[in-house]
């Protein structure tokens, strides 16, 4: 009976010893392993700012200072070919916005993957994005604002343009037509150039000649974040 009691006591002491010592050791080892295996920080808030056969990628670099470079892989919806470029991280870019320009892009949907790397070659989770790139096809679809006539109001001549019925009533709302550039013959000789807002249907031209020419074209932005503008073909009318 004494032997049994002794064995039970010894077993309890052994269990208490194991409970007090080993789990902490195992927990610490797991914690350190997890820290060592943590992925580098990924970029955030990726935006694709479209232009004419080009784009600017804008994103926030992770504040993780282990990251020293980015791999940017991009392709077009028109092709399976994937292009790759690398971008270094400057000291002041951690946690801040960074921009990377990409050129020679076809007019199609751009697909982008960005992966962060540290000096050991470890990689972050990949951030993906897509956006449409504009080109000649979009430009060929643009119209020129329609010039109507010249009238005189209270002794002052003005050029009149057809109303843009599709424009929003609120001038703070984005509208693809940005403005119309008008060049006209002046009464004293030479030419004058003015801009006409899409929200205005007439513009005063007190110095316009009795006869001459009016040249005009319209300027567009396909989307509010576009980095390039596009223009319609120029039209010339005589008066």
pLDDT of residue 21: 46
Backbone angles phi, psi at 91, to 5 degrees: -55, -35
| Measured distance between the N- and C-terminal CA atoms of the chain, rounded to whole angstroms | 125
pLDDT at 8 over 70: no
Q: Per-residue pLDDT tens for 216-239?
A: 999 999 999 999 999 999 999 999
Q: Per-residue pLDDT tens for 15-47?
A: 444 444 444 443 344 544 454 458 999 999 999
**Are the C-beta atoms of 165 and 117 separated by less than 8 Å?**
no
pLDDT at 171 over 80: yes
> CA–CA separation, 223 vs 189, rounded Å?
39
Q: Name the residue among 108, 124, 155, 122 with its Cα closest to residue 46.
A: 124
Q: Per-residue pLDDT tens for 95-151?
A: 999 999 999 999 999 999 999 999 999 999 999 999 999 999 999 999 999 999 999
* Triad 206, 194, 166: Cα angle to 5°: 110
């Amino acid at each position: 009976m004494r032997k049994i009691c002794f064995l039970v006591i010894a077993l309890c002491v052994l269990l208490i010893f194991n409970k007090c010592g080993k789990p902490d050791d195992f927990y610490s080892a797991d914690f350190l392993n997890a820290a060592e295996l943590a992925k580098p920080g990924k970029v955030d808030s990726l935006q694709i700012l479209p232009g004419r056969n080009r784009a600017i990628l804008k994103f926030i670099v992770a504040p993780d200072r282990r990251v020293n470079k980015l791999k940017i892989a991009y392709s077009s919806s028109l092709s399976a070919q994937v292009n790759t470029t690398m971008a270094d991280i400057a000291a002041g870019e951690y946690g801040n916005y960074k921009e990377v320009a990409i050129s020679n892009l076809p007019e199609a949907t751009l697909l982008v993957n960005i992966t962060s790397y540290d000096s050991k070659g470890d990689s972050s989770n990949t951030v993906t994005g897509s956006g449409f790139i504009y080109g000649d096809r979009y430009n060929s679809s643009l119209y020129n604002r329609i010039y109507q006539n010249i009238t005189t109001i209270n002794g002052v001549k003005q050029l009149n343009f057809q109303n843009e019925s599709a424009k929003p009533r609120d001038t703070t709302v984005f509208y693809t037509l940005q403005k119309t550039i008008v060049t006209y013959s002046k009464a004293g000789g030479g030419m004058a150039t003015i801009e006409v807002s899409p929200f205005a249907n007439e513009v005063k031209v007190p110095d316009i000649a009795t006869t001459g020419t009016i040249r005009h074209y319209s300027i567009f932005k396909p989307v509010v974040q576009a980095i390039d503008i596009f223009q319609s073909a120029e039209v010339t009318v005589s008066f």
